[in-house]
Structure 1
Amino acid sequence: MEEPSPPAPAGPSEPRPPQTAQPVPVPATAEAPIPASSKAIRFPVRPGKGSAGTRCLVKANHFIAHLPDKDLHHYDVSITPEVTSRVVNRAVINELVNLHRAAYLGGRLPAYDGRKSLYTAGPLPFASKEFQITLLDDDNGSGSASQRRQRNFKVVIKFAARADLHRLGMFLAGRHAEAPQEALQVLDIVLRELPSARYAPFGRSFFSPDLGRRQPLGDGLESWRGFYQSIRPTQMGLSLNIDMSATAFIEPLPVIDYAAQLLRSDIHSRPLSDAERVKIKKALRGVKVEVTHRGNMRRKYRISGLTTQATRELTFPVDEGGTVKSVVQYFQEIYGFAIQHTYLPCLQVGNQQRPNYLPMEVCKIVEGQRYSKRLNQNQIRALLDETCQYPRDRERDITQMVKHNAYQEDPYAKEFGIKISDRLASVDARILPAPRLKYNETGREKDCLPRVGQWNMMNKKW
């Protein structure tokens, strides 16, 4: 028996990062030609390049990317039983590649979108193939392989189409009006593979506590630094747009400490009020925790609720004969753990029909869980302070991030022949003349012309 499993008791943003500047395996046969992607988007034609103001050069957070000279292939992926977690899907495909890359994938290193699509730089040696993959469940903690639950998956990989890089090259050269979206999507997926394995991916951004200091946001939250990344077609050619980013994560605290921060009150020596219990339940529902009372066996659970009763009042049947045991007694006898905060409620994990009870003091919040609910004004202000920088500081951080990512050493970029410059792109720009400002007619001075972005308010009325 893992944890006590009684029947349920009866009871009473991410802001998108700003940009420094924004310029715009199957061989073919005679009977069955290989399909190619036809998804494309037509961009508006630029009306002109401007003539007002003073010409200048500015640095943009774009890094020139060289289009690969590869034959890119798209494959449909089916994983059974189907799971919604991209993390699990990626783990399945990674295990498949590790086991069968040499024998069945022709030595190719595929890029995977975490859902239904897999891409290769050249054809695989089959049109369709089925694989059987076994994963060890990480939620069972760091015990031996024999103690960890096995999960079996059937993976079917089937050829779908070729990605049309030729049309993308024509578009970038100005000889085609439409940009093939799937070709851009493939390149984006390739460049996301390594960051997705290293960092916590959300949208087009990646976050990690190793990418900058953690900043407390209050109420059990903290900000993580990260970066935004997207491949773009521009007038300079293909470029990788990168910017700094930050978002809110739940602090990896012991649950009791998290609850104390959330309530802004010490709860180590008193029971919770009904209002406090509801607030904690709302904040923790869906959050993943790991137990700390079993040594190296750090099994993970997802919180489904909070009991209405205190831990010392909770009992559950231990056999079909109706023998009842308390949670406090169970933890003492099975784990040799004496629960101290018996006046606090237990966390409920598992399903509602057969929940497990975990005392709050034996649970710690798992690191890396993004906070997706609404932030308060103080938290929003603190988060914005993390992303607001002087241009020179932003340039320094972006350049350091590109060097840290080392795209020239990225095995997926190498596999697909993508090369990324490590220098900020220079873009033609114009400094437009300042507009004349008009003030109230009753003032001594009715208008003025700003100089270098500044002007004097003396003798002027609104």
Structure 2
Amino acid sequence: MIGRTGFGSSGKHISLLANHFKVSVKNPDEIFYQYSVSISSEDNRAIESKGLGRKIIDKLYQTYSSELSGKRFAYDGEKSLYTVGPLPRNKYEFMVVLEDSFAKRGSPSHDGILSESGKRSKRSFQEKTYKVEISYAAKIPLKSVSLALQGAETEKLQDAIRVLDIILRQQAAQRGCLLVRQSFFLDDSRNFTDVGGGVTGCRGFHSSFRPTHGGLSLNMDVSTTMILTPGPVIDFLKSNQNARDARSIDWIKAKKMLKNMRINTRHSNREFKITGMSEKPCNQQLFPLRVKKDDGTYEDQAINITVFDYFTKHRNIELTYSVYIPCIDVGKPKKPSYLPVELCSLVSLQRYTKALSTLQRASLVEKSRQKPQEKMRVISDAMKNYNYDDDPLLASCGISIEKQYTQVDGRVLEAPKLKVGNGEEFSPRNGRWNFNNKKVFTPTKIEKWAVVNFSAKCDASHLSRELINCGRNKGIFIDRPFSLMEEDQHNRRSGPVIRVEKMFDQILAKLPGAPEFLLCILPERKNSDLYGPWKKKCLSDYGVPTQCMCPVKITDQYLTNVLLKINSKLGGINSLLAIEQPSRIPLINDTPTMIVGIDVSHGSPGRSDIPSIAAVVGSHSWPLISRYKASVRTQSSKVEMIEGLFKPQADGTDDGIMSELLVEFYQTSNHRKPTQIIVFRDGVSESQFNQVLNIELDQMIKAYQHLGEVDVPKFTVIVAQKNHHTKLFQASGPENVPAGTVVDSKVVHPRNYDFYMCAQSGMIGTSRPAHYHVLLDEIGFSPDNLQNLILTLSYVYQRSSAATSIVAPISYAHLAAQQMGQFLKFEDLSENTYGKDSLTSVGTMPVPELPKLHEDVQGSMFFC
């Protein structure tokens, strides 16, 4: 990581507020003492549950406070606790007793849980004893924070910040919040937003301490996590499966979905974890019941009784729809315990970690967006309500937190001029422009093409006529389509791959040769299962550029957006930066420069069997910086560093990504090799910055040298982050900050080279700036030149007529990974596709490779 080289000065000054709250430290010489914690039960089994761990440590503090000199703890819920100043001794062993309500072993318990042994008994309280061992581990001086704020590099900075964050987390845990990393969520229905499918968005807060150029600050932001919709289990299942009633539920799916969820019972108000479901319905599932005699003893012989009869006859609980459906099992594998579904409700604040569907995501975005003023009010209220200053651990360090937003000086950079057809130049206004009465810069001519219609609702003939007319207005000449192919309605019941195959049979039979372009009308607007097989067939098997669409309403704006994509895919250019031709881009116009965008997309959360997809785009046709080629590969699941940038083969060749992009640059740039490479890397955290330099940059240099080059190009490496919690607000006025706003002081890192930029104007909700970190700058940009280059790279995105929130090369890499990831629906791979074990451990089995793009589309912007 390089240090900051200076501050930018260009642009119009603007007064801003940031959601950072100044932290004062009156006792900077205090030292945190870290202690290792080991908790085990009476039978020496380690306790892994964070919730139970916190209860045990709380009880330990209540019981043994005097032996610990009344020292307060900050416990991380796992293996460490921290104190301000040392404990009297370096090593302790305590026995902690917790009262645990439980049901004695027996058949149906007092709580009405049915187990397959004999007796019934009332709930009782059992004391459980745990052994807690505490031993000294390390000292963490609070002074390392103030040293870092003065610009010194200190090893212990992150450790000290982590202790402060653990104190905040402990506060939230004591209030009964759900903790997700540095965010916390209260059980309050006012913060819940139903997004469908049994899933609810839960609004909470992110809070973390940040060392900044303006001093230590608390970064407070609104945060959202997904939880299972609390309430009756049957309501959850109906919503999750979109079922009309209990009888319509697929119970095999339900069993898989419900496993490990926590429930509360209506009749006894106890909490359990679901371990499975009964094989038979409630009125057929038998268990042995030992009947109590008048003298209080039990019959020797148990009688078999159904779960339904037990609850209705022995417990006098009326059951309605549970009669014909399976029971919930909360027992152990060899000792099931059954509960009728209608007596069970899902406990609140249980995280839902699967990927959201497109509809759920759209619903969440729509319902959870907040205007800048509303977001500011919600954060201000949280700062007042949570009384961080009252925390005894923070108080003992002399830490106090201001309640006012940090005032920040920002600058609004001037948008670059753009050039379109007929030599017209114009300046975008607040990050936007339109193509009304404008023609594209370099139009394509589409002569041999066809329309393929999978939708029964869309009139393909009318659509193609409107597209041709709109194209003429934009300067794109489109001939009449060679053919309009409607899907045979009998094929609609087939699977997506077969439907695509049959449509291609029709194309091959009707067209005299390969078309230049295929327009595909899909039946569903979002997540059509035809999309992946169709793209694979066109781009991999036949090398035909294709555009998919599903128009709800055919408007001029909609058709213009579609035409911008088509023109880019077929080699046209919609708009150029005015400084690209003739080239007047500082530090790039005189020296062959390649711009690279890198993104890695991972499978759904919790799916370690799905490979990750690495996409890298590289600019070509220097001195242009608007044209890109993509190279996409699969790699080991959840691996963030790219494995295939340099891939030497046994025959001496390099089959890596970088070699492919370097050759393309050379062939399209008058046989000039790049002597400068600017790398934009998306999606890595601060802890991985060194890996980007040590692993990925190293591979790029090796790929360049492998092509026979001795002189290595100069590199500038920049990480772009969208996933952070700093928000910027206008100090005067309710609107979002204007497009082109940049901040490189006060809330940035005290030493490292970073800045925030809002390249686009937020039309709805609150803008989130991109956070750029410069890891290396061998090219030697001034702060103004670099910030202006990054802004201009947000205006070269060919798919739309608006600036992008993050530089276009990263947006393109993201699109390429997304689109080629659809080629193989990894979620649907069966065991016999890649061998029996491949789905349980992609890391140990060969990772399935993506089909290669056809050579006719390899160099195209197919991802647009």
- TM-score of the pair, normalised by structure 1: 0.82
| Structure 2 Cα separation of the partners of residues 412 and 89 of structure 1 | 20
What are the within-5 Å matches in structure 2 for residues 346-357 of structure 1? 346-357=327-338
**Is structure 2 residue 170 aligned with structure 1 residue 170?**
no
For residue 313 of structure 1, give the secondary structure of its aligned residue in structure 2: coil
Q: 1:435 to 1:178 in 2, by over 3 A?
A: farther
**Is structure 2 residue 241 aligned with structure 1 residue 281?**
no
Cross-structure match for 2:40: 80
Q: 1:105 to 1:324 in 2, by over 3 A?
A: same
Give the alignment's Cα RMSD to 1 decimal: 2.5
Q: Deviation at 1:410?
A: 2.7
Q: Deviation at 1:178?
A: 5.2
**Is structure 2 residue 56 aligned with structure 1 residue 92?**
yes
| Structure 2 Cα separation of the partners of residues 307 and 152 of structure 1 | 33
| Structure 2 Cα separation of the partners of residues 132 and 142 of structure 1 | 31
**Is structure 2 residue 351 aligned with structure 1 residue 388?**
no
| Structure 1 Cα separation of the partners of residues 432 and 201 of structure 2 | 35
Q: 1:225 to 1:255 in 2, by over 3 A?
A: same
**Is structure 2 residue 345 aligned with structure 1 residue 339?**
no
| Structure 2 Cα separation of the partners of residues 422 and 146 of structure 1 | 48
Q: Deviation at 1:357?
A: 1.3
Cross-structure match for 2:75: 112
For residue 137 of structure 1, give the secondary structure of its aligned residue in structure 2: strand
Q: 1:387 to 1:215 in 2, by over 3 A?
A: closer
| Structure 2 Cα separation of the partners of residues 58 and 211 of structure 1 | 33
**Is structure 2 residue 424 aligned with structure 1 residue 446?**
yes
Q: Deviation at 1:448?
A: 0.3
Partner of residue 208 from structure 1, selected from 186, 194, 197: 186
| Structure 2 Cα separation of the partners of residues 415 and 148 of structure 1 | 38
Cross-structure match for 2:411: 430
Amino acid at match of 1:100: Y
For residue 147 of structure 1, give the secondary structure of its aligned residue in structure 2: strand
Cross-structure match for 1:31: none
What are the within-5 Å matches in structure 2 for residues 264-413 of structure 1? 264-267=242-245, 271-272=247-248, 276-294=250-268, 298-318=269-289, 321=301, 323-341=303-321, 342-413=323-394
| Structure 2 Cα separation of the partners of residues 339 and 393 of structure 1 | 46
Partner of residue 6 from structure 2, selected from 48, 57, 61: 48
| Structure 1 Cα separation of the partners of residues 163 and 126 of structure 2 | 34
| Structure 2 Cα separation of the partners of residues 456 and 379 of structure 1 | 30
| Aligned residues of 2:211 and 2:217 also touching (Cα < 8 A) | yes
| Aligned residues of 1:106 and 1:124 also touching (Cα < 8 A) | yes
| Aligned residues of 2:165 and 2:182 also touching (Cα < 8 A) | no
Q: Deviation at 1:245?
A: 1.0
Q: Deviation at 1:385?
A: 2.9
Cross-structure match for 1:20: none
| Structure 1 Cα separation of the partners of residues 319 and 248 of structure 2 | 17
Amino acid at match of 1:375: L
| Structure 2 Cα separation of the partners of residues 452 and 287 of structure 1 | 48
Q: Deviation at 1:426?
A: 1.7
Amino acid at match of 1:291: T
| Structure 1 Cα separation of the partners of residues 6 and 38 of structure 2 | 47
Q: 1:454 to 1:254 in 2, by over 3 A?
A: closer
Q: Deviation at 1:363?
A: 1.1
Partner of residue 238 from structure 1, selected from 194, 213, 216: 216
- More contact order relative to length (CA 8 Å, sep ≥ 6): 1
Cross-structure match for 2:401: 420
| Structure 2 Cα separation of the partners of residues 330 and 65 of structure 1 | 61
1:416-441 deviation per Cα after TM superposition (whole angstroms, max 9, x unaligned): 432111111122321111111121x3
Q: Deviation at 1:262?
A: 2.3
**Is structure 2 residue 202 aligned with structure 1 residue 221?**
no
Amino acid at match of 2:417: R
Q: Deviation at 1:138?
A: 6.1
Q: 1:314 to 1:272 in 2, by over 3 A?
A: farther
Q: Deviation at 1:100?
A: 1.9
Partner of residue 171 from structure 2, selected from 191, 194, 205: 194
| Structure 2 Cα separation of the partners of residues 65 and 210 of structure 1 | 29
Q: Deviation at 1:169?
A: 1.6
Partner of residue 262 from structure 1, selected from 240, 250, 271: 240
Query: Of the two, which has the highest radius of gyration?
Result: 2
Cross-structure match for 2:439: 461
| Aligned residues of 1:246 and 1:383 also touching (Cα < 8 A) | no
Count of matched residue pairs: 408
| Structure 2 Cα separation of the partners of residues 167 and 65 of structure 1 | 15
For residue 231 of structure 2, give the secondary structure of its aligned residue in structure 1: coil
Which of 379-388 and 369-378 deviates more? 379-388
| Aligned residues of 1:168 and 1:180 also touching (Cα < 8 A) | yes
Q: Deviation at 1:71?
A: 2.5
Q: 1:458 to 1:174 in 2, by over 3 A?
A: same
| Structure 1 Cα separation of the partners of residues 38 and 11 of structure 2 | 56
| Aligned residues of 2:141 and 2:156 also touching (Cα < 8 A) | no
For residue 373 of structure 1, give the secondary structure of its aligned residue in structure 2: coil
1:347-370 deviation per Cα after TM superposition (whole angstroms, max 9, x unaligned): 112222211111111111112211
Percent of counterpart pairs with the same letter? 34
Q: Give unpaired runs (5+ residues) of structure 2.
A: 104-108, 112-121, 291-299, 441-864
| Structure 1 Cα separation of the partners of residues 396 and 62 of structure 2 | 16
Amino acid at match of 1:397: V
| Aligned residues of 2:110 and 2:123 also touching (Cα < 8 A) | no
Q: Deviation at 1:48?
A: 1.5
Amino acid at match of 1:94: D
Q: Give unpaired runs (5+ residues) of structure 1.
A: 1-42
| Aligned residues of 2:209 and 2:217 also touching (Cα < 8 A) | yes
